[in-house]
Amino acid sequence: MYDVLQHRSSLGKAGCDMAIIRPVSHLQRKIGELTKLAKETGEPIYLSKNGTEHLVLMDADAFAELQKRAEKSESKND
């Protein structure tokens, strides 16, 4: 049904091997559920529209950690 992406994230608390994918309609109808899922797993949640990726929802703390890692990586490459 969904275009499932394989990934391994060192940020994730759950150690998931599969991407978390939900239809974008869940954003309107199930924001509480999606918020809880993002907080509990620390994984990005891919929201699809018509079977393709549309948006990514992520816990703010996990996103901040991702930004820190990106900044460290950039400074190493300079």
Domain of residue 24: give its range: 20-77
CATH for 60 = 3.40.1620.10
The reply to whether 44 falls in a domain is yes
Is the CB of residue 23 less than 8 Å from the CB of residue 48? yes
Total tally of structural domains belonging to the chain:
1
Q: pLDDT tens across 15-45, in order?
A: 456 778 888 888 889 999 999 999 999 999 9
Q: pLDDT tens across 41-59, in order?
A: 999 999 999 988 899 999 9
pLDDT of residue 61: 94
Is the CB of residue 52 less than 8 Å from the CB of residue 31? no
| 5 vs 22, higher pLDDT | 22
The reply to whether 9 falls in a domain is no
